[in-house]
Amino acid sequence: MVRNIKLVLEYDGSTFFGFQRQPSQPTVQEALEKALSSFFDRKIKIAAASGRTDTGVHAEGQVVNFKTTSGRNIRQIQKGLNALLPAPVVVKEIKEVPLDFHARYNVKSKVYEYRIWNHPCRSPLLAKRVFHVPYSLNVAWMRQAAKYFLGKRDFRSFTSISAMKKERSCVRTIRQFRIKKQGHLLIFHVEADGFLYHMIRNMVGTLMEVGRSKRKPEEIKAILQSKDRRLAGMTAPSKGLTLLRVTY
């Protein structure tokens, strides 16, 4: 009997060349499929909610699924995989799901967090998970600007031109875009039905320019309308980004 198993993964993106399999580079998918294939003693392929996340992007709640005919108990599978996986990846949750569940196609929404360390000095203890911005930022302006991202919009100005060409549609719906201040940490909390390639990093990079008073908050509206990548700002570095959770 075929079973469909859903896993929730946490990983430290700094030790992988992104999620998706690549020839001759360590990736999360490769590590996971290797552990699965070794545990079940046959080749296993996974589907992932966010299969195209970049080198350096972390996850607290990446979701994948795979099929197996094994009758092994779900707890045994989790324990076995965690023993086989390298230390920077872990299976946090495991669940048997209906056969038609697909980690990528059934996504309702994804939540990402982008973290900026806004202090004149770097923070060695946070270094791997934050983008260090040493100058002061106008957070009120950034929050005002972020409001223009909310709702159903065409985000092609905020993806790469090559990625855009591969998409059927660049329309996405952003349900939440909050900017929280926790001491010297600035945390962007973004929820959408999906994201284009580099979309969050380009939105954050553009908001940074608003924060430095190089652009006005209203400019976001014009950039979205232009549908021109060249009008948006820089791509913020990947290490500040974490996939928090995926809902179905």
**Closest approach of a copy of itself to the CB of residue 242, in Å:** 8
Which amino acid makes up residue 225? Q
Q: Which is nearer to a copy of itself, 56 or 233 (CB)?
A: 56
Q: Which residues bind a copy of itself (CB under 8 A)?
A: 10-12, 58, 60, 78, 82, 87-92, 121-125, 127, 129, 242
Tell me, letter by letter, the H, E, C secondary structure of 51-109. CCCCCCCEEEEEEEEEEECCCCCHHHHHHHHHHHCCCCEEEEEEEEECCCCCCCCCCCE
Angle at 128 between CA 127 and CA 130, to 5 degrees: 65
Q: Which is nearer to a copy of itself, 89 or 210 (CB)?
A: 89
**Closest approach of a copy of itself to the CB of residue 7, in Å:** 11
Q: Which is nearer to a copy of itself, 12 or 193 (CB)?
A: 12
Is residue 54 part of the annotated active site? The answer reads yes
Cα–Cα distance for residue pair 198/165, rounded to 1 Å: 14
Q: Which is nearer to a copy of itself, 12 or 191 (CB)?
A: 12
Burial of 124 (0-12, 13-18, 19+ CB in 10 A): exposed
- Beta strand 241-247 with 185-192: parallel, antiparallel or unpaired? unpaired
Q: How far is CA 238 from CA 2, 67, 129, 154, 205, in A?
A: 37, 31, 9, 23, 11
**Closest approach of a copy of itself to the CB of residue 226, in Å:** 37
**Closest approach of a copy of itself to the CB of residue 150, in Å:** 28
Choosing from 12, 41, 54, 228, the catalytic residue is 54
Residues annotated as part of the active site: 54
